[in-house]
Amino acid sequence: MKIVESRIIYWSKEDDRFILVVKNGTEIIGLNFCQGDEIEIFLENFNCIDEDLTRFYQAIDPILSSVIEIDRINEVMWAYLRYKM
């Protein structure tokens, strides 16, 4: 079995956040994000997997309506922020 892990950082202009997506093949195994456009703050403090956010994503991803993966991730992040408030 070959495991391929990738780490991708997205900038979501519309949502004003950097997003870390860690994948094993096509499966998302880790997420994190930081509101705002300061890449240095993101890299210092949020460039690691948030286990709680990742579990939240994995629980609700199957019921989301967006077809595009990054749109689903952003939907989850807005819901997660509301959940945490």
The pLDDT assigned to 37 comes to 94
Percent of the chain residues past pLDDT 90, beyond the cut: 79
Q: Convert the pLDDT of each residue in 28-46 to its tens digit.
A: 999 999 999 999 999 999 9
Which of 3-7, 22-26, 31-35 is least confident? 3-7
DSSP 13-74: TTTTEEEEEEEETTEEEEEEEEESS-HHHHHHHTSS--HHHHHHHHHHGGG---SSHHHHHH
Query: What pTM, to 2 d.p., does this model score?
Result: 0.89
